[in-house]
Amino acid sequence: MTTIDNLLLNIVNHNAPTIEEQIAPRDSRVLRSLASTLSSHLFITENQAGLILKILRENSRKLKNFTEEIDHALTSPEWSKSFRKIEQIRKLYIHKNEDHESTIRIEFTFSSEIRKILSLLDKKLDDLVQGAPGKNYSADLTEKNIVTLVDALTPYNFEIDETIKTHYLTIKSWSETDIQNQFLITNIEHKNFQKAITEDLGLSTTIDQNIINDRSIRYQYRTDAVKNPGETLVEYLANRNKTKVWVDKTQHTPTEIISSLQELHRLPLLVVFDNLVNDKYNTNLDALIEALDANNIFDKIGIYFRLPNDEIGLKFNKKIKERQYNYNLMDDTRVAVVQGGKLPKFFLKSAWTPMSVIAFNTKMGLRHGKTSVYANCCDLIIEWAEKEVMFDNRLTIK
């Protein structure tokens, strides 16, 4: 009896008429593709064999030159070789990435169903990244990621690393209320916490509810008071639940923003200018000058870049010289100004760090690059623009 694979090769190699002239295009493409696999050093899988039988059965009457042979072969299908076995890999384990950081690795033999599950989980997971197309992914090694992935992948017979299992059971044993209560400001007695707050604000600072709420992200504590956005810009900034904030420039000026920052004791300040649109440099500088003057900030200001000596650049550079905005980056620098994506190297060697960041009209300045990475050390990053374009996860203040 002719084997099914030899019969298929005879069918696809027959030219009068061709297989394309007799059956549907999709079926003919599938059979030609599988015939090509049969002709290579590989052989087909059991699932592929089933697909061949299905197509031949459905098209037996259309393949008139082979109808009788097909019917006969289908009564007791035989193959010339054993089917190719596909190793089924489904693993969840801890893996060192190229930066030698521990991540969660999800490794599996191609499965559209598992890919769909991971796609649906993407918004729930921290930094889910695809590796080899459709075969492995990695995610940050966090408590949330561990619980989310174990819960989602366990029903699909994943082999889960013992370390991850231990972490999972530990996390699930925690009481959410008990954990949250540990971080209530009224329950934190560690002297280093008290010391950090005192060094930040000083002994003479009057600490109101806005300041308490504002520092909760910086020092990772909770308060009993429900955060209320309030009516003023100060209250909006203080009650944010994310580090990144968009402030609508049509509703609030830089003068208001810097005034609010002073009320929250949020200086020193890093200001980031857009480096993509040249005609905004002088507009942004004028707005910054007006805001600093209105808030009585006249000294210890450094703008750490200059423009080419064209019409725009000459005007910009002259203003910096006249205003003496050339203070070296020192521990007591009050305002530092840089271009988006072009952080001077001396920032990395200095002990100076900003308490807040404002991006002026920037499109990409704090989305990527060195300036973005540097600014992420700050727990209050403000985008001042007409439209929110810079951040993926931000609080909107109009």
pLDDT tens, the chain, 398 aa long: 689 999 999 999 998 899 999 999 999 999 999 999 988 888 888 889 999 999 999 999 999 999 999 999 999 999 998 888 877 889 999 998 877 889 999 999 877 888 899 889 988 888 888 887 767 899 999 999 999 999 999 999 999 999 999 999 999 998 877 777 776 766 666 667 666 776 776 656 667 888 888 888 888 887 776 666 678 999 999 989 889 999 999 999 999 999 999 999 999 999 999 876 667 899 999 999 999 999 999 999 999 999 998 999 999 999 999 999 999 999 999 999 999 888 999 999 999 999 999 998 766 556 667 888 899 889 999 999 887 765 544 555 55
Let me know how many helices (H) and strands (E) the chain has, helices first: 16, 12
DSSP 8-state assignment for residue 309: S
Angle between helices 209-219 and 191-201 (to 10 degrees): 120
Q: Given this model, what pLDDT does residue 210 score? A: 87
CATH number of 242-397: 3.40.50
Peptide bond into 133 cis (omega under 30): no
CATH of 90-174, one of 3.30.420, 3.40.50, 3.30.780, 3.30.160: 3.30.780
Peptide bond connecting 268 to the previous residue in cis, omega within 30 degrees of 0: yes
Distance (Å, rounded) from C-alpha 311 to C-alpha 35? 69
E-strand spans in the chain? Answer: 90-96, 102-108, 129-130, 136-140, 159-160, 244-248, 269-273, 301-303, 335-339, 356-360, 381-385, 395-397
pTM reported for the whole predicted model: 0.59
Strand partners, 383: 246, 359
Calculate the CA dihedral of residues 232, 233, 238, 241 and round it to 10 degrees.
110
The confidence score (pLDDT) of residue 255 equals: 97
Which residues face 91 on adjacent strands? 107, 159
Please list, in sequence order, all residues whose beta carbon lies within 8 angstroms of the beta carbon of residue 393, skipping any fewer than 6 positions away. Answer: 242, 244
Question: So where are the chain's domains?
Answer: 4-75, 90-174, 242-397
